[in-house]
Amino acid sequence: MSPKALSCALGALVFSAAGASAQPAPPPDPPSQIPQAQSPPAPAPPASAPTSDAPQIQPPAQAPTSPPGVPPVQASESPPKSVPAAQPGWKPLTHRIGDASFTLYGDIDIYFNYMHSTSGKNIFALQDGAILRSRLGLRGDMAFGHGLKGSFALEQGLNSTTGAAADTTRLFDRVAWVGLATPIGEFRVGRQNTEVFLRGGYIDYGERTLGAVINAFGVPSRYDSDVAYISPRVSGLMVAGHYSLQGSIVDHPAEQRVYQLAADYEHGPFRIGYARVAGKPPMGAAVSAEVTYDNFYANLSYGPGKIYLVYIRSNNNGPTGELLNGASPLGNTGALLAGTDAGADTMYNIYQASADYSVTPAFRVGALWGWIRDDEGTGKNATGGSVGGFYSIRNVKLFLIADVLANERDAGFRPIGSAGLTKPFTAPSDVNGETITGVHLGLVFRF
């Protein structure tokens, strides 16, 4: 599919959405829940699939809360979506003993992936993790009284095409944290998702995964030894902060650090927010630049859908061998900044606009367009977009996504889902300066 063809498809989708006269459906797939200041209602059945390898944010509260419609203590992913009105709900396996609750949950995300490069090469493969990396998790909580509640989450990523662990070096590669929710907020320690990662559901119609230009740039996702505070939401505003205590030199933990800041404001149908991840290289590193990822976002619900706008400024990208782009100096899954990637000297601006529309309570369509531009004027630029459709049947989400990513001469970005491709384009001649188009058909089964 050429960029021109995708642009025509995007125009047709927007035109059809604007002219639709069907009965308005509930707002489509709300994003990750951000902590609320008040105690939530009793849990309601969650719905089909969540977002990107996108997040869930566990609300601290008076008696630490869970987002409406989700069992207490969320997994580190976006929360389940709203259940279409005409469909019965579903629940993960939860066992309660007195004031304690334990929930076994997970998902399988598997899809057929076709990609074509203008070099003439093609990929056709069965892949894992287009929207939500397959995983198995356990979460729990216990009320201590006096407005205090303990919680934990353990989550292991899986490759649904082989049954192998996503990371063979860890038992719980995605998250492993314990927390204490209090009337003034929640405190957590352990391996945790980043605030940037947690906001995937606020970013675009596909929740910042397969088809998103932003995702092709790379997203810092989680860190070890992370100490976090998440505030209650007060007058629509919540804030969060993280500091990773991991370090590579004994008695010098300040040599390297990763810190995060975030703020999210919600008022009626409007949401605006900011999230930052920043890493400092060790003293004397060859590349001394601090690597940052600043994510500004806004979205507006208009009844049957949402409009999303996003701007990112970051130097978290660099070359991988002869591939002009693809490395992430900050590390996508928690490595400390090595200070050896010259890509950290180039700052990028990424812009993306997106919208979705619920045709029926069970069927939603969306589209996006985005740009990657480097500050140095060295031509490391790319343009791309996607269109997609999602159909939910209880806890199963079927999806069809078509996308395109056009690299300028000195750029080498590649489309990617919530999990890395097990069969990607690896030859520089198939990526650098090439345009990659794709069609992806699959499902997410949540349990």
Query: Each residue of 23-33: b (16+ CB within 10 Å) or e?
Result: eebebbbbbbb
Which of residues 52 and 187 earns the better pLDDT score? 187
Which of residues 339 and 128 earns the better pLDDT score? 128
Question: Over 90: is that where the pLDDT of 87 sits?
Answer: no
pLDDT in tens, 209-237: 999 999 999 899 999 999 999 999 999 99
Sign of the dihedral through C-alpha 208, 385, 332, 430: positive
Cα atoms in the 13 Å half-sphere on the side-chain side of 384 = 32
Provide the total of helices (H) and of strands (E) in the chain, helices listed first: 4, 20
The residue-averaged pLDDT of 148-154 equals 97
Question: Over 50: is that where the pLDDT of 18 sits?
Answer: no
Q: Which of 54-63, 317-326, 438-447 has the lowest mean pLDDT?
A: 54-63
434 exposed, middle or buried (CB, 10 Å; 0-12, 13-18, 19+)? buried
What is the reported pLDDT for 78?
Answer: 40
236 exposed, middle or buried (CB, 10 Å; 0-12, 13-18, 19+)? middle
Question: Over 50: is that where the pLDDT of 323 sits?
Answer: yes
What is the reported pLDDT for 111?
Answer: 98
Q: How confident is the model at residue 251 (pLDDT cuts 50, 70, 90)?
A: low
Sketch the domain layout of the chain as residue ranges.
Answer: 3-446
What is the reported pLDDT for 126?
Answer: 97
First to last CA, the chain: 35
Tokens of 441: 């058909």
Q: pTM for this one?
A: 0.80
**Topology, domain 3-446:** Porin (2.40.160)
Question: Over 70: is that where the pLDDT of 103 sits?
Answer: yes
Whether 367 and 386 have beta carbons less than 8 Å apart is answered as yes
Mean pLDDT comparison of 37-41, 168-172, 245-249, 364-368, highest-scoring range: 364-368
Question: Over 60: is that where the pLDDT of 40 sits?
Answer: no
Question: Over 60: is that where the pLDDT of 82 sits?
Answer: no
Query: Each residue of 119-146: b (16+ CB within 10 Å) or e?
Result: beeebeeebbbbbbbbbbbbbbbbbeee
**CA dist., res. 153 & res. 172, Å (int):** 10
Portion of the chain with pLDDT greater than 70, in percent: 77
What is the reported pLDDT for 417?
Answer: 93
pLDDT in tens, 415-443: 999 998 889 999 999 999 999 999 999 99
Tokens of 163: 């049954």
On average, the pLDDT of the chain sits at: 82
Tell me which residue has tokens 């892949």: 127
User: Could you tell me where the DSSP H helices lie in 206-361?
Assistant: 213-217
The residue-averaged pLDDT of 384-405 equals 97
Whether 56 and 76 have beta carbons less than 8 Å apart is answered as yes
**CA dist., res. 138 & res. 124, Å (int):** 34
**CA dist., res. 44 & res. 67, Å (int):** 10
The residue-averaged pLDDT of 189-200 equals 94
Whether 247 and 226 have beta carbons less than 8 Å apart is answered as no
